[in-house]
Amino acid sequence: MDFDSFLLAASTPDLSVEPAAREYADAIEFRMDLASDGLTALSAYDGALPVLVTNRLKREGGEAPDTAQRLSELRTAIEHPCVTAVDVELSAVRDGDTASVRTDAREQEVSVVVSTHDFTGTPPRSEMCRLLSAASEYGDVAKLAVTAQSRGDVLDLLLVTRELTARGDAVATMAMGELGRHSRAVAPLYGSRIGYAPVDPASATAPGQFDLASLRDLVDRLAGDGPPSASGTGSSAAGAED
Rounded to 5°, angle at Cα 145 from 80 and 104:
25
Q: Kindly provide the b/e burial profile for residues 193-229, where b requires at least 16 CB atoms within 10 angstroms of the residue's own CB.
A: bbbbbbbeeebebbbbbbbbbebbbbbbeebeeeebe
Q: What is the DSSP letter of 141?
A: E
Asked if residue 194 lies in contact with residue 141, where contact means CB atoms within 8 angstroms, the answer is yes
Question: Which amino acid type is present at position 221?
Answer: R
Q: Alpha carbon of 162 to those of 153, 165, 186, 189, 203: distances in Å?
A: 14, 5, 12, 9, 30
Asked if residue 229 lies in contact with residue 24, where contact means CB atoms within 8 angstroms, the answer is no
Grouping H, G, I as helix, E, B as strand and the rest as coil, residue 83 is strand
Asked if residue 50 lies in contact with residue 34, where contact means CB atoms within 8 angstroms, the answer is no
**Residues forming the active site:** 117, 143
| Chain centre to alpha carbon of residue 92 | 17
Paired strand residues for 8: 195
Q: What is the DSSP letter of 209?
A: P
